[in-house]
Every structure is written in structure tokens, then in C-alpha cells.
Amino acid sequence: MRSPFAWLLLAAIALSLPVLTYPPGRDQGWFAVFGRGILDGYKPYLDFWDTKPPAIFYTYAAAFALFGKSAIAIRLLDVIAALPIAVLLFAIARRLGEWRGVLAALGFYAFYFSDTFWTLSPADGLALLPLAISAWCTLKACDAHARSHHSTSWFLLSGIAAGCAIWFKYSLALVALAIVVVPLLACGRQRLVLLIRHGATYSLGIAIVAVVGASFLALNGVLSAAIESARVAGDYATQDYASGRWLQSTVWIAGVNERVSRWWPLLLLITLWWPLQLRLPLPLREGLGVGEIAHKILWLWLLAAALNVLVQAKGFDYHWLPMLPPLLILAADALVCGVQLLARTLHFTRIALAVIAVALVLMVGVSVTLPALPFLLGGQTRTAYDERFVAGEFSAAESAHMSEFLRQRVALGDTLFVWGSRPEIYFQAQLRPATRFISHTTLSATWTQSGWRKENVDVLWAAMPPYALVLQGDYFPWVTGNNDDSATLLQGYTELNNWLIANYERDGQIGNFLIWKRKNQ
């Protein structure tokens, strides 16, 4: 079965490649500004400010260094990371049965890449690789312990991988802890000293990554700014709890509906997991006994990832991605159990599972390849292709038009100021943000730090970029705590509004972008 699986995996990889044509969304543009800035000698948090940990910024910088400063380099991150993630899911799920590994690996391509351009290439998605490595290492530790071999090194590697995941998003510490709890208890069941030793070794792995990361930030002079960013990130999350209405917010409801509409087959299968396990004939159930620890790890992983979504109190589509690996493996387990119960012979079981595996590969083709074919075959222009990438008030075609407008009128490397949250414009137009605040949300939110608004205007008086853009129709109540768009918020930001009127004049409009050109330019 391994050879057919390899061919199916290669087919899934090939069919997923059209994601390389996807334009950047808002978050990808955000990380791209940081990544390109790092390569140009600028520093995160000091020169560009955000609440996220630094791993995603340096990952984008690495991609640009290797593949060029383009949108393709951003999407290559997903393509490159997907293969080892799929292989690790195969290795983990295979403990429950080889077909489970096949379906989990192919399912990752089917469900991850069938998501939107908006959801791909985020910190949450790229963190799946170190999380999967951590889970695999903890299972290897259990294997070594069962054979009376030393398992300490596996716990150390698991901790190192977990530490890397936390540098992508701090709240993923919940998932990292959930992955290691069962293996630690299993290895320490006989002797308390083993539990303490392995727990300390795992913690040492996390500590090594934390110290190395903090030392790197300190050497670059951004450690204190990164700590401030982490503190503000807590304020950003807790404002939703303080309101007491986050479960009724439009963004939370939209996020839940989005996950249910995309993952309903997986959610249905895991609801059937327990009854299907109990209905299995005793010989089959005993054969799965070796996977008992894996089952517990996966369920804890799934619950911790769900808690991770709740902790962030937003329900953004990419916040749910850490749930996908355990969801896929448990769904594959339930699916194989169901087929074994329904099929009368082993031959029919294999045929049914092979059909499902092929269907998962075809799912990649239908969701990724087919929509891109007109563009790839030359029957569709880039502008027409970009028009299909829309999310709320965001339009990739509008961003491309706005970026082209700026490239034709300014010099490469000039600065730009965008009063709104459209950082992809900076990246696509190859312009540097005039201030470190690349989104209006940072300066308009309830958690804004005193002095930031004055700092922003003071820097703008010195920078005087050739163009300033003001957005309309963009509403971020889940971030800013109010229901006004950027154009409206500008009226309440007197210093910025005065600066704009004194130095700029209206020069047209592209979609939701109100264009202001510097006077006497």
C-alpha cells in the first residue's frame, strides 16, 4: 500500500501548487512588511509594531531571502511545510492502523489547502509543523520507554519543538502542554523520579528555545519592545472578555460558521468516534490497544486547541488551524472503524478506503487547481483572476490596482502612510511604512498606549511621504472596540487630520482607498 500512497501524496502535492498564484491577504501583507523590513535592516517592534511573537516575522524574512521578496515566496512556506506535516501525521496515525495514516496525511492536503487565500500562510498554520514534531517525539519517547530504552532525549526534542511553536503564538503553550501530559504520565507511572526527570527535560527543551530566542532579540535590541508587545497582546485579547459580548459578535459567529461549513465531515466523524470504537469487534479493538496513548494525546490536543481559540476570543478562521491535525487523525480513525463495520470482507474494506483516499486528492484538485486553471492556461488576466479573492471589505484586485497606481508615481523605496489596515499595499507597492504603526487599529483601539498617537504624527511631520491613503468601509470592532471605519476615526484623531489637511490634497479614489497626494509635489 505504501507505493500507491506515495503516488497519491505526490498527486496531492502537485494539485496544491496553484496556491503559489494566490495574492497576499491582510495578514500575509502584515507579516511580509516585517519580513522584508528585517532583510532591509529594520527591527520588529521598534521600526514596525505588532502584538505577535517574532517567529512568523523571521520565517517570512527567511522565505524572502531564499526565494525573493514576492507573494510566491509567502505561499511557498505552506507548500514546503505541508509535506513534513503530512508525513508526521501519517507516522502518528499509523500507530492506530496504516490506512488511518494514509487518510490523515491526504486529509491534511485536502482540508488545509481547500481553505481560503485569507487563511493560508499564517502563524497558526506554520506552527503546525513544530507541534506535529513535538507530538511525534513524545510518542517516540513512549516507545523507547516501553522497550526499556532511554527516552530522555525524545522529551528534550519534544520540548524544543514545543518551544518553537510558542514563538509563533504564545497561547499555543496550551497545546504544547496537552501534547506532552499523557506521555509524561505514562513514562512516570512506575517511578515518580522518571516523571520528574522527563518533565524537567521537556521543560529544558522549551527553556533552551526561550533563552536562545530572547538572547537573539536582546542582541538586536528589541527584547524590551517584544516584551511590551506581549503585554499589549494580553490587553488586546482581554478587551473582548471585558465586553461580555464576544460570543455574540459578528466575527465570532462568522468564524464558527466558517469552520462548521468547511470541517463538517470531520466534526461529524469525531462525534461518531466513541460509538464506533465500542461497536468494533473485540479482535479489532484489541489490535488498537497500542494506540491508546496516541488516542489520549490527540483528544487532549484537540481540546487544548479549542481552548486556544476561546482564549483569543476572536474566532478568526486561522485561529482554528491548530485543531486540524488531531481532528484529521481522529476522523480518519472513526472513518476506518465505520468502513470495517459496514464492509463484509477485508477486500471491500480496502477498496472503500482507497476510494476515500482518491476522493481526498480530488478534493485538492477541485478546490485549488480547477479555479486557477483559466489563469494558469492563459485564458484569464491577472486582474480578472485577482477579482475572486475577496474577504469582507478586502479585495485583492483593488489592492493590486492601488499598488500599481503608486508604483507608477513614486520612487522605489519611498515611504507611504496608510490610515487603515491594508498592509499588503506597502509590500506590493514596494514602499516602506512612514511610521512603525502600519495599521490604524493600533492607534484607535481601547488598548492603545498613551503617547503612540503623538509619536505617529511627529514621525509623519518628518517623513512627509508622497502619498497618504485613507480607508473607508473597514470596520474592526473586535480589535478597536468601536464600530467606526478608518475615515470616521480620522475625524477624531485631530493631530493626524490636521497634518493631512495641511500637507495633502485629494487625488482620487480606488475602491475603498481615498488617495491624498502631497501638495506641490
Per-residue pLDDT tens, the chain, 521 aa: give them. 457 889 999 999 999 999 999 999 999 999 999 999 999 999 999 999 988 999 999 999 999 999 999 999 999 999 999 999 999 999 999 988 889 999 999 999 999 999 999 999 999 999 999 999 999 999 999 888 777 667 889 999 999 999 999 999 999 999 999 999 988 887 766 678 888 888 999 999 999 999 999 999 999 999 999 999 888 877 777 666 665 666 777 788 888 999 999 999 999 999 999 888 777 655 444 444 446 788 999 999 999 999 999 888 788 889 999 999 999 999 999 999 899 888 777 788 889 999 999 999 999 999 999 999 999 999 999 999 999 999 988 999 999 999 999 999 998 879 999 999 999 999 999 999 999 999 998 898 877 888 999 999 999 999 999 999 999 998 887 777 778 899 999 999 999 999 999 999 999 999 999 999 999 86
DSSP reduced 3-state for 54: coil
Residue 372 within any structural domain of the chain: no
**Sign of CA pseudo-dihedral 52, 53, 54, 55:** negative
Residue 188 within any structural domain of the chain: yes
Q: Are residues 104 and 198 in the same domain?
A: yes
* Helices and strands, number each (H, E), in the chain: 26, 7
Residue 70 within any structural domain of the chain: no
Q: Are residues 337 and 446 in the same domain?
A: no
Q: Are residues 148 and 14 in the same domain?
A: yes
**Into how many domains does the chain fold?**
2
Question: Is residue 512 a contact partner of residue 393, using CB atoms and an 8 Å limit?
Answer: yes
Q: Are residues 224 and 293 in the same domain?
A: yes
> What residues pair up with 471 in beta bridges, in sequence order?
513
pLDDT at site 289: 44
pLDDT at site 293: 85
Q: Are residues 178 and 263 in the same domain?
A: yes
Q: Are residues 354 and 472 in the same domain?
A: no
Per-residue burial over 449-475, b if 16 or more Cβ lie within 10 Å, else e, is: eeeebeebbebbeeeebbbbbbbbebb
In this structure, which amino acid lies at residue 509? Q
Q: Residue 44 has what DSSP assignment? A: B
Q: Are residues 466 and 318 in the same domain?
A: no
Backbone φ and ψ for 401, nearest 5 degrees, come out as -65, -45
Q: Are residues 95 and 12 in the same domain?
A: yes
Q: Are residues 459 and 358 in the same domain?
A: no
pTM of the entire structure? Answer: 0.93
Residue 39 within any structural domain of the chain: no
Residue 25 within any structural domain of the chain: no
pLDDT at site 243: 59
Angle, nearest 10°, between helix axes 346-364 and 2-16?
A: 20
Angle at CA of residue 64, ends 372 and 309, nearest 5°: 70
Residue 302 within any structural domain of the chain: yes
Cell triple for residue 133?
Answer: 514534531
Q: Are residues 343 and 441 in the same domain?
A: no
pLDDT at site 278: 75
Residue 483 within any structural domain of the chain: yes
Question: Is residue 186 a contact partner of residue 320, using CB atoms and an 8 Å limit?
Answer: no
Residue 159 burial by Cβ neighbours in a 10 Å radius (0-12, 13-18, 19+): buried
Residue 114 structural domain: 8-18+83-365
d(CA 204, CA 195): 14
Question: Is residue 32 a contact partner of residue 424, using CB atoms and an 8 Å limit?
Answer: yes
Residue 374 within any structural domain of the chain: no
